[in-house]
Amino acid sequence: MSERTPMSFSEKREYPSVGCDFTDKIVPIVDDELDHVLNEVASRAPGWFGHSCQAVVTLHGIDDRSQSTLISVGVEVAGNHKELLIKSPKVATFDPRCNDRLLQPVSAPLVKSKLEYEALTAIARHFDALEDPRFGWIQVYAHLHHPPATIVEWVSVPTFAKLLRRPDPAISDYDTLTVFRNLGGWLAEYHGISMPKLEVRDAEASQVIDGMLKLVDIILKSNTWPRLPTGVADVIRQRATYLLPTKLPLGLVHGDFAPRNVFIGSGSRVTVIDSLGRYRAPIYEDLAYLLVELLSGTTRLRRRGLPISTAELASMRAELLSGYGIADDVILSIFELRALLDKWRSLAQRSRSSNLRGRAASMTDTLRRFIVARRVNDIIKQL
């Protein structure tokens, strides 16, 4: 589920009672919680792999991130080896003033991990039954309550974000435009997955417009450079109200449809992760956020030291929409504007430290705001 990050470890400890072999960690995770996780893996693994003998679990690494802790382990059962990943979410932070894409974000780790487990399970079930060579899926093994965590198979192929930054010669039949076409097809399938207890969000044009106006207000109050175009709120009220249908087509929204959450296998096969499966929302939302991430995200700015060109972005966009089976129309442009405003809001509110890394990140964010601002101006003119 994540690109492997090398970690350092201290002395090794043995846990023969459960057949575990792992090391102390030097990242902030409670010993008792880690012990419990590894005991759970050791006790359940034989059943996952169809054996009754004891499992040996080896801790490979702990990647402590801002939103979650990722624990990678190896499991040996009856001479068979499996690499697994355990993802334990942390309390999420959010801006309570912004009632838009992150409406009522999940901050309780137990709830978040349960939602992700259910979403990944639904994805695996759907795409396994589909048997389409364009789409992959990851095996989901278990959900733990203490600490909250989801256990899945380790994915060895690179993420799309990594390939966009630096192509991997090991994947000889990888093609960027084919990936975008496959991503469009994947998203169309995903939007049609049925899950119980989904909340409906932004089903009407008025709700989308209200969210956009709140984003505009936050950006204006942030007092950052560059400035929003004069009268952008009036354009949104008038043109979006006129152009958007009263009722919008809905689907199971992903919520973070970005290259970092896509794995690329042989034949440009795509496997998508990191969905909570919470909402039915307008189908344009995921498409728009992927397009904005390509335009202004770190993937574009770090791609072999050069940005993705405008011509490349246009080709990627065309293949994505072709794969989905949707026209590049004005409704999508409005949702792209919405995603741009959300990105602008996020970049404007991020705080940076005064050290060298913080200053470099601040300069990068300023550049990204200029890229976003230019695209916002273009869409406002089109509307």
What are the sequence ranges of the domains in the chain? 9-88, 109-142+157-382
Residue 296 burial class via C-beta count within 10 angstroms: exposed 0-12, middle 13-18, buried 19 and up: buried
The pTM assigned to this predicted structure is 0.88
| Among candidate residues 255, 276, 287, 266, the one with its CA nearest the CA of residue 186 | 287
Q: Give the whole-angstrom CA distance, residue 85 versus residue 150.
A: 8
Amino acid sitting at position 380 = I
Give the per-residue pLDDT at 2: 33
Give the per-residue pLDDT at 17: 31
Most confident of 45-54, 103-112, 351-360: 45-54
Helices (H), the chain: 31-48, 109-130, 160-165, 176-191, 205-222, 232-235, 241-243, 284-296, 298-302, 310-324, 330-349, 356-382
The average pLDDT across 101-117 equals 77
Place of tokens 């030291």: 305
Measured in whole angstroms, how far is the alpha carbon of residue 231 from the centre of its chain?
Answer: 33
Residue 382, number of CB atoms within 10 A of its CB = 11
Give the per-residue pLDDT at 224: 83
The CA R_g of the chain, rounded to the nearest whole Å, is 22
Amino acid sitting at position 6 = P
Give the per-residue pLDDT at 213: 95
**CA trace torsion 137, 180, 169, 269 (10° rounding):** 30
Residues pairing with 279 in the sheet:
199
Judge contact between 121 and 128, C-beta under 8 A: no
Q: Residues 6 or more apart from 45 whose CB is under 8 A from it?
A: 55, 57, 75, 77, 82
Q: Give the whole-angstrom CA distance, residue 75 versus residue 154.
A: 11
Which pair of tokens denotes residue 38? 């590894």
Q: Give the whole-angstrom CA distance, residue 326 versus residue 328.
A: 7
Measured in whole angstroms, how far is the alpha carbon of residue 127 from the centre of its chain?
Answer: 18
Which superfamily does CATH assign the domain made up of 109-142+157-382 to?
A: Aminoglycoside phosphotransferase (APH), C-terminal lobe (3.90.1200.10)
Give the per-residue pLDDT at 52: 83
Q: Pick the residue with more confidence: 244 or 24?
A: 244
Residues pairing with 19 in the sheet:
none
Percentage of the chain beyond pLDDT 90 is: 62
Amino acid sitting at position 118 = E
- Assess whether pLDDT exceeds 60 at residue 306: yes
Give the per-residue pLDDT at 300: 67
Which pair of tokens denotes residue 270? 């795509």
Amino acid sitting at position 222 = S
Give the per-residue pLDDT at 337: 97
